[in-house]
């Protein structure tokens, strides 16, 4: 029996970062992209990805504010979020995790490391759901 391919929503205001992410992830996942938190929320109105990779530094609604909103919406509150950001400050990592992220990955990242962290987070979600 073939498993449904998982969908990851990649949210970053930098088109180059989105393209790099798509190149890395599309071998194993269906990848949707959004250039802003607003685009992410529009996507989520009609879609439920298996995971969201979210940048922190974005114009308008930043990643920290976006995850707080996500966690208040019934349809999206259980979607695992991994922050994927160049913010490497310890207090930012702590804040991201305290807001409900399952991981916090610093850019630039090694592609295989990102894939392994996504798999680990997916495993945690499956264990939580059972």
Residue 4: per-residue pLDDT: 76
Residue 122: per-residue pLDDT: 82
pLDDT in tens, 78-92: 999 999 999 999 999
Residue 124: per-residue pLDDT: 63
Residue 3: per-residue pLDDT: 62
Does pLDDT of 125 surpass 70?
Answer: no
The architecture (CATH level 2) of 7-129 comes to 3-Layer(aba) Sandwich (3.40)
Residue with tokens 């995971």: 51
Residue 70 pLDDT class (50, 70, 90 cuts) = very high
Question: pTM for this one?
Answer: 0.92
DSSP string, 73-87: STTTTTS-EEEEES-
Exposure letters 21-44 (e unless 16+ CB within 10 A, then b): beebbeeebebbbbbbbeebbebb
Residue 2: per-residue pLDDT: 54
pLDDT in tens, 14-66: 999 999 999 999 999 999 999 999 999 999 999 999 999 999 999 999 999 99
Residue 126: per-residue pLDDT: 55
Residue 53: per-residue pLDDT: 98
């Amino acid at each position: 029996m073939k498993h449904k391919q998982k969908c990851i929503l990649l949210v970053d205001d930098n088109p180059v970062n989105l393209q790099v992410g798509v190149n890395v992830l599309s071998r194993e996942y269906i990848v949707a992209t959004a250039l802003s938190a607003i685009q992410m929320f529009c996507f989520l109105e009609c879609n439920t990805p298996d995971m969201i990779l979210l940048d922190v530094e974005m114009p308008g609604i930043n990643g920290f504010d976006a995850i707080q909103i996500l966690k208040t919406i019934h349809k999206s509150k259980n979607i695992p979020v991994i922050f994927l950001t160049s913010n490497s400050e310890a207090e930012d990592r702590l804040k991201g995790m305290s807001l409900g992220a399952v991981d916090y990955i610093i850019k630039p990242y090694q592609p295989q490391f990102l894939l392994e962290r996504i798999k680990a987070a997916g495993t945690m979600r499956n264990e939580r759901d059972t």
